[in-house]
């Protein structure tokens, strides 16, 4: 028989675990389907989460899984491959392992994947001395020689932001033409003291398991100990698209249209974390999951009360 739940949470990161915690404490039968692929897995530590600053991401998730288990939330390591809304407005979710589970409401927290620039050495060192977010890691590498790998004119923005953490910043234009930069951006870079270097990046120079330089295709190498890159985000919106959720295009991918609680344009389906937006850090994702969980509990409560009232009137 298909197992029945009041809520299924698809995704076991900060957003999904937070939603599940609220729902479990509200005594809602809840299932978390977790594929076990957190976005921040390459990072040794997470930052900017009050009271959890510096905590290893794996330790954070393990603590969250233990917490929701105390409230009876079920957890399964699997992948949701399909979801269908039935005639009653409820949902059948198919798992890769072959099971089908049913819920009255869905929370989709499937995050996003970072597709890194195709430069030798970048993927191998990502999360160590190849970084993407100064708010996540800037303090730990402050005052070192920074490089910024541009893959679009938006690299200017990243170079200007990271100059808050180091006054020795080089913007490697890589595949971006120098004349593609606006005059205003060039003036800002000059004011911030950011060196702009044309030429395609060939790879990274690593010595004693540390980044020491960035090499160009012209044969030159430029001493740098940190390289910031801008991965291409690929939102995990497959289930939402199958359910017919409206998406909005952004410079960082297409994300679902949601209200202030995370409710999508599909009744009964919420999205939170990086499944709902590119810029959601761990603390934001946890907050979004909390809002979704609390909203769903209230909606289910009043829906059931109204149904009971209608039944009583008919009698």
Q: Nearest Cα to 282, choosing from 31, 61, 33?
A: 61
DSSP 275: G
* Residue in the block written with tokens 């954070």: 60
Measured CA angle at 263 (ends 88, 297), to 5 deg: 70
Tokens of 21: 């915690």
CA distance 141 to 260: 35
Q: How many beta carbons lie within 10 A of that of residue 225, not counting itself?
A: 16
Per-residue pLDDT at 1? 67
Query: What does pTM read for this prediction?
Result: 0.94
* C-beta of residue 247 within 8 angstroms of C-beta of residue 257: yes
How far is the CA of 284 from the CAs of 18, 48, 162, in angstroms? 11, 10, 21
pLDDT digits (tens, 9 = 90+) for 284-300: 999 999 999 999 999 99
User: Could you list the mean pLDDT of each consecutive 10-residue stretch along the chain, which spans 315 residues?
Assistant: 93 98 98 96 94 96 98 98 96 97 98 96 97 96 98 96 98 96 96 98 98 98 98 96 97 96 98 96 97 98 92 79
Rg (CA), the chain: 23
Per-residue pLDDT at 310? 84
* C-beta of residue 271 within 8 angstroms of C-beta of residue 15: no
Kindly write down the DSSP assignment for every residue of 271-295, as one continuous string.
E-GGGT-TT--HHHHHHHHHHHHHH
Per-residue pLDDT at 232? 95
Helix axes 57-69, 14-25, angle to 10 degrees: 20
CA distance 193 to 167: 7
CA distance 131 to 154: 16
């Amino acid at each position: 028989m298909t197992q029945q739940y009041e809520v299924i949470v698809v995704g076991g990161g900060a957003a999904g675990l937070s939603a599940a915690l609220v729902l479990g404490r509200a005594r809602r039968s809840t299932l978390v389907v977790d594929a076990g692929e957190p976005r921040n897995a390459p990072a040794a530590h997470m930052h900017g989460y009050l009271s959890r600053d510096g905590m290893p991401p794996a330790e954070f998730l393990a603590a969250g899984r233990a917490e929701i288990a105390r409230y009876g939330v079920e957890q399964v390591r699997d992948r949701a491959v399909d979801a269908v809304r039935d005639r009653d407005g409820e949902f059948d979710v198919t798992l890769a392992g072959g099971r089908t589970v049913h819920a009255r409401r869905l929370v989709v927290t499937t995050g996003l994947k970072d597709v890194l620039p195709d430069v030798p050495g970048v993927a191998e060192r990502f999360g160590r001395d190849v970084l993407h977010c100064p708010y996540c890691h800037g303090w730990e590498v402050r005052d070192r020689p920074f490089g910024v790998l541009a893959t679009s004119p938006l690299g200017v923005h990243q170079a200007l932001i990271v100059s808050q953490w180091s006054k020795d910043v080089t913007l490697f234009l890589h595949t971006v033409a120098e004349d593609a930069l606006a005059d205003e951006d060039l003036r800002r870079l000059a004011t911030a003291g950011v060196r702009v270097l044309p030429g395609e990046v060939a790879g990274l120079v690593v010595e004693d398991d540390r980044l020491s330089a960035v090499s160009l295709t012209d044969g030159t190498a430029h001493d740098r100990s940190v390289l910031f890159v801008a991965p291409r985000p690929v939102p995990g919106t497959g289930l939402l698209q199958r359910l017919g959720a409206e998406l909005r295009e952004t410079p960082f991918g297409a994300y679902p249209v949601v209200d202030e609680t995370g409710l999508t344009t599909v009744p009964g389906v919420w999205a939170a974390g990086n499944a709902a937006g590119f810029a959601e850090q761990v603390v934001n994702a946890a907050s979004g999951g909390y809002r979704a969980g609390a909203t769903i509990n209230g909606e289910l409560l009043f829906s059931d009360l109204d149904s009971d009232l209608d039944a009583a009137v008919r009698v």
